[in-house]
Structure 1
């Protein structure tokens, strides 16, 4: 596993979704650690990027003779999610349940899977995302209407530049955190209106077998 960006630092709470809390005996919240090799967020307590519901091997190691529970984990998904996951074997975000993604459009679902769960559709049925503003484009240092590849490059460059974990000192870190938050917000505002942008594309892992099984729910 590659070294993390600032292993001991955490994302500001405001940058996390409210459901990203402690799961499976973990001491840290999901999203408090970043694996630069897999381009995935995980738990800082065990430097793990496995799904949120898995047990923490550092705080609750397997007892002698105890079976590895993760191999038996089943994830129930709709057929269209299953098809997208098969095409994106490196996906390591939260797998949406059939109820969660029932009202998502195909484009919204593709964006979600392709971005490792970064681009989230509107949470409430019928809620419409606002159009990106001139300020959103300015934050990303782009001209309005820039193509998807430019958008992706700008986001990655600025997110890396202003990531809080790359800055030292309370003042510098606070400034960087606010800029990072604005970059993420601007990106989501723009990318949410462009179909199929692999923003932080799910990386493949050389065909490594998943540690969970997909069960299609009709």
Structure 2
């Protein structure tokens, strides 16, 4: 079964279940835990949608697998993502998310043009290494 569908079912059951962490009959406070669950569910689906759009955009660029491989041929994708060769898909995703959060150009926008350009270059390397390993 799809992981997203399980999250959705779990969130709906939690929100509708009469025994919450904070009872729902306490107006306002009782709905706070339900709002937190709904927020995290919304955040999960938003991230999935953004990842899907990003993969659709990269597919529309017309790059073939050979082109992607030649982009990362000079750099070892495992070294770029700072993981061991033969890492599992979960480890690759975790490394990608950690490095993407650190080097995303929007995160360093306030630090100046040069640092922003370096972060953008590094982020592109991280993205290419991730795409190469996940294909």
TM-score, structure 2 normalization: 0.51
Find out whether 1:159 has 2:95 as its counterpart. no
Structure 2 counterparts to residues 1-218 of structure 1, below 5 A: 37=43, 38-39=46-47, 92=49, 115-119=51-55, 120=58, 123=62, 127-129=64-66, 130=69, 135-167=76-108, 168-192=111-135
Match of 2:36 in 1: none
Deviation at 1:121, TM superposition (A): 5.1
Deviation at 1:128, TM superposition (A): 3.9
Gaps of 5+ in 2: 1-41
Aligned residues: CA RMSD: 2.8
TM-score, structure 1 normalization: 0.33
* CA deviations over 1:139-181 (Å, ceiling 9, x no partner): 0001111000000000001001000111121111111111111
| Aligned residue pairs, count | 83
Other structure's SS at 2:106 match: helix
Other structure's SS at 1:181 match: helix
- Where has structure 1 moved over 2 Å in runs of 4 or more? 36-39, 117-124, 127-134
Instruction: Give the whole-Å Cα distance in 2 for the aligned partners of 1:117 and 1:144.
Output: 28
Instruction: Give the whole-Å Cα distance in 2 for the aligned partners of 1:177 and 1:154.
Output: 17
Gaps of 5+ in 1: 1-35, 40-90, 94-114, 193-218
Higher-helix-fraction structure: 2
Report which structure shows greater RCO (CA 8 Å, sep ≥6): 1
Larger Rg: 2
Distance 1:172 1:145, change over 3 A: same
Instruction: Give the whole-Å Cα distance in 2 for the aligned partners of 1:137 and 1:121.
Output: 23
Higher-strand-fraction structure: 1
